[in-house]
Structures are given as structure tokens and as C-alpha cells.
Amino acid sequence: MAASKIDYGSPIPPYQQIAADIIRDINAGIYEVDRPIPSQPTLVDRYGVALRTVQRTIRHLVELGYVYTVPKRGTYVKARKAATES
């Protein structure tokens, strides 16, 4: 994938912009359930941000229920219930 640009003039914080990109890729099937998303160093390079920003992005995605982390292994796409399921 090509490097993505962060809009620093946007009212949306960089970590949320990155999260939105990753969510879009998850929803498009680029990142599959129980498969890893790119590593933190890869995301740092791709977005040109600090490691702390990527770490905050991942925490945000975990809170939203899109990913889960496995210590020393990576961050993986979490299975999500369909909106029609209760």
C-alpha cells in the first residue's frame, strides 16, 4: 500500500485518521479476521508519525472492538457481530 497522508489541519486527531484508514481496510477485507494488521514499525513508516501515535491508534481500535493484541505477536483483526445480530 502507498504511504498515507495525515491531515494535520484537520480537527480529527492523527490517531483517529489512521484508525479510520485501518477500519476501512478491515471492512474492505484487506485485513481478514484473526489475521494481523501491519506491525507498529510498518504503520510508523506508512503514516510518518511517532510510535506513540501508532500505539494510541491501536488502543483506540481495541476500544472500538476492531482488533485485539497478542503480546509479542502483534495486533489481529477481531471478528465482529453483524449489526442485525443481538
Q: What is the pLDDT of residue 86?
A: 43
**pLDDT at residue number 27:** 95
- On whether the pTM is more than 0.85, the answer is yes
3 has a pLDDT exceeding 50: yes
Q: Which residues share a beta bridge with 70?
A: 74
Q: What is the mean pLDDT of residues 68-83?
A: 88
Quote the pLDDT of residue 4. Answer: 72
39-73 residue pLDDT tens: 999 999 999 999 999 999 999 999 999 999 999 99
Cα(83)–Cα(44) distance, integer angstroms: 32
